Amino acid sequence: MAHINLPEGFPGISGGFVFRPETAKPMRELAHVLLHQPNSLTSGERELIATYVSSRNDCHFCQSSHGAAAACHLGDATVVEQVKTDFMAAPVSDKLKALLKIAGKVQQDGKLVTAGDVDAARKLGATDIEIHDTVLIAAAFCMFNRYVDGLGTWQPRDPAMYAQMGKHLAEEGYKEPSIRQPVEAVHSS
Task: Please give the residue ranges that form the binding site for other proteins (CB under 8 A).
Answer: 1, 3-5, 16, 19-20, 22-23, 25-27, 29-30, 33-34, 37, 57-59, 102, 105-107, 109-111, 113, 115, 118, 128-129, 131-133, 135-136, 138-140, 142-152
Select 61 or 162, whichever has its Cβ closest to other proteins. 61
Backbone angles phi, psi at 173, to 5 degrees: 85, -155
Cα torsion 146, 71, 189, 61 to 10°: value is 10
Residue 188 · residue 13 · CB < 8 Å? no
Distance from C-alpha of 96 to C-alpha of 49, rounded to nearest angstrom? 9
Q: How far is the CB of 96 from other proteins (least distance, A)?
A: 17
Residue (20 or 157) nearer to other proteins, CB: 20
CB of 91 to other proteins, least distance (A): 27
The residue (of 42 and 155) whose beta carbon lies closer to other proteins is: 155
Residue 88 CB, nearest distance to other proteins (Å)? 21
**Shortest approach of other proteins to residue 99 CB, angstroms?**
12
Name the amino acid, one letter, at 152: G
Please identify, using beta-carbon distances, which residue of 89 and 110 lies nearer to other proteins.
Answer: 110
Can you say how many angstroms the Cα of residue 161 is from the centroid of all Cα atoms in its chain? 16
Q: Which is nearer to other proteins, 77 or 139 (CB)?
A: 139
- Taking CA atoms, 63 is separated from 21, 59, 66, 112, in Å, by 23, 6, 5, 23
